[in-house]
Copies of this chain bind each other. A is one copy, B any other.
Amino acid sequence: MGGGEAKKSGGNPGKSGRGGKKKEVKKETGLGLTNKKDENFGEWYSEVVVNGEMIEYYDISGCYILRPWAMTIWEIMQKFFDAEIKKMKIKNCYFPLFVSPTVLQKEKDHIEGFAPEVAWVTKSGESDLEVPIAIRPTSETVMYPYYSKWIRGHRDLPLKLNQWCNVVRWEFSHPTPFIRSREFLWQEGHTAFATKEEADTEVLEILELYRRIYEEFLAIPVIKGKKSELEKFAGGYYTTSVEAFIPNTGRGIQGATSHCLGQNFAKMFEINFENEKGEKAMVWQNSWAYSSRTIGVMIMVHGDDKGLVLPPRVASVQVIVVPVPYKDADMQGIFDACNATVDTLCAAGIRAEADLRDNYSPGWKYSHWEMKGVPLRIEIGPKDFANNQVRAVRRDNVAKTDIPRAELVEKVNQILEDIQQSLFDAAKKKRDDCMHIARTWEEFVEALGQKKMILAPWCDEEEVEKDVKARTKGEMGAAKTLCSPFEQPELPEGTKCFASGKPATKWSYWGRSY
């Protein structure tokens, strides 16, 4: 058994608290969750993040404890992304958590976007600070005064920095673990270039890495596109994003963003350089980030009524090996086979553990590891042992395979790859089933009522988007643009905007969102 984490759930696979009747019922039925994903999605989510041991609720609202089961996923993504940006010659740094108010307020649009959510430190010990100090909601204003200092000539460019850190946004809307929290972990990249072309290119290179995190690691299909003027980053030039969709709530969710800041911040922070001709010029800047929100999207998309479903590439335990004791069986032989199986898998780079605890039944263990979303379970009972084979059971579709011990690594690798692909395919099918093309206001409203993600021809006018928001305002929240996809369907001349009737200039995704 590979560590103390599993043990922490103690006597009950489905519940972090103990005692009470609910526990007994759940134990008897073998069910770990009291809520069903399709019936009470919100409650299901709150329950599965806790029972899957990803999150513990914290005594300050909107703050959550990331337990090792979640942290490992974060670390796996971080390892990938960090290596990729290092290949791009982006370097890591660390800027302070605190910002002075004068600097924070330097870029007007930017601060207007963030001001209501900024947390302020006003005291240390018993003393009031002379000037209140802000906690970074993002680090543009923290960093750029120093970019101005460091960048003088064209040889100082490009300047490409990234940091892995925590940020704080004291939001008052409904907090949700991973998805909307007052403190979260992220990486933020901040780059400066001599030319717009270089900046444009990097925006898309980074966006592609974000797509890969979602599609290749988290097995979640995303749409790459450009945000509307209303939805772009406060103070930026344009914003690109990868957009995911949660079918159960019919809401889009911004997965990660790669912004071109243009020269707006450069102007405010005087980030100038002497170009090759000896002329004074202003830099072009980007900033880009993905956060621990990624993990929440993964849980929402793949989880089911038995608990988490982790894609193999990000699962800290990819294979859990469980001995199945029978009366009169050679238990030592079975235990040894379990350990040997783990050793063989680990030696091949597969993250495997055995659950050899003697105070839980195999059935309990199955439920426990299903709740935690381990992609593949290997059972070894007397018959398997006698036949020199193991039984593999997939978490995603319960498919069972008997694997001869000699083919263990090859077959397990195959199955894990297949699970990764199946999860993506299933998520994509579900997402695609929720997509709807609307050409008129009536079609739009009907599709919105059906919780669709709507692709509609649009005139790209800010007033029209505001108008759509106002007209769809209701209990469920208003519809807004999610993005204008880079992959545009054909837009025949004469196509009208679904909302304004004016000539449409692009296709855009619309929907409710997180």
- Chain A interface residues toward B at CB < 8 A: 2-5, 7-8, 10-11, 16, 18, 56, 58-60, 63-68, 71-72, 74-75, 89, 91-100, 103, 115-126, 132-133, 135, 145-146, 149-153, 155-161, 165-166, 168, 170, 182-183, 185, 357, 359
Contacts and interface: CB of A to CB of B under 8 A. Distances in A.
A160 B67 CA distance: 12
B121 A120 contact: yes
B91 A66 contact: no
A2 B66 CA distance: 36
A151 B161 CA distance: 41
A101 to B, nearest CB: 11
A159 B56 CA distance: 15
A203 B97 CA distance: 31
Nearest to A153: B10
10 contacts: A4-B91, A5-B91, A8-B159, A18-B152, A65-B96, A68-B161, A71-B94, A98-B182, A117-B125, A119-B121
Contacts of A16: 149-150
Chain A interface mostly: mixed
Nearest to A135: B121
A146 B18 contact: no
Contacts of A155: 7, 10, 357, 359
Given A59-B100, A96-B183, A98-B63, A123 B133 contact: no
Contacts of A132: 123
A288 to B, nearest CB: 17
A447 to B, nearest CB: 36
Contacts of A96: 58, 60, 63-65, 183
Contact of A72 (B92, B133, B146, B357): B92
Contacts of A133: 60
- 9 tightest CB-CB pairs across the interface, nearest first? A124-B170, A68-B91, A63-B96, A66-B94, A120-B123, A116-B125, A122-B122, A71-B92, A3-B89
A60 to B, nearest CB: 5
Contacts of A115: 125
A98 B68 contact: no
Nearest to A114: B125
Contacts of A152: 10-11, 18
Contacts of A66: 93-95
A419 B18 CA distance: 58
Contacts of A8: 150-151, 156, 159
A117 B122 contact: no
A7 B157 CA distance: 8
A320 B145 CA distance: 30
A159 B92 CA distance: 32
Contact of A153 (B11, B68, B92): B11
